[in-house]
Amino acid sequence: MVKMVVLLVRKESLDYEEFLTHWKEEHVPLVEDLPGVERYVTSHPTEPEKSAYDGVAEVYFEDMEQLGAAFDSEAGEALLADAEAFSDQDAGEVLYMEEETRFVAE
């Protein structure tokens, strides 16, 4: 399992609530359209005014090949275009990670 972790910074033209609204209402449905996506997790800071990032997105795929194919698709192109509409692409970070579950508490 691989995941793409995106550390999001909102565009200066948006306040925090506008950023969250766009992310949840406009962006999440576009992620659902990605071919091969297996899981999508979002997190946002409890105190955004004290955080370097406005949110974290984790997009899971079976492997890097599926991740690459997803973002090469029309759905992937639409998703990337939308990301530019509400987040500062130069200020954020993108990490590609192998995830291994060590344990799950019962």
Amino acid identity of residue 47, one-letter, is E
**Percentage of the chain surpassing pLDDT 70?**
100
Please tell me the distance from the alpha carbon of residue 50 to that of residue 40, in angstroms, as a whole number. Answer: 25
Closest listed residue to residue 71, CA positions, set 30, 41, 21? 30
Each residue's pLDDT tens digit, 52-84: 999 999 999 999 999 999 999 999 999 999 999
Q: What is the mean pLDDT of residues 40-58?
A: 96
Q: What is the mean pLDDT of residues 32-46?
A: 97
Q: What is the mean pLDDT of residues 45-49?
A: 94
Q: Are 59 and 4 in contact (CB under 8 A)?
A: yes
Q: What is the mean pLDDT of residues 29-40?
A: 97
* Per-residue pLDDT at 70: 98
Please tell me the distance from the alpha carbon of residue 37 to that of residue 70, in angstroms, as a whole number. Answer: 8
* Per-residue pLDDT at 101: 87
Query: Sheet holding 39-43: strands in order across?
Result: 39-43, 55-61, 2-8, 93-98
User: What's the whole-number average pLDDT of the chain?
Assistant: 96
* Per-residue pLDDT at 86: 96
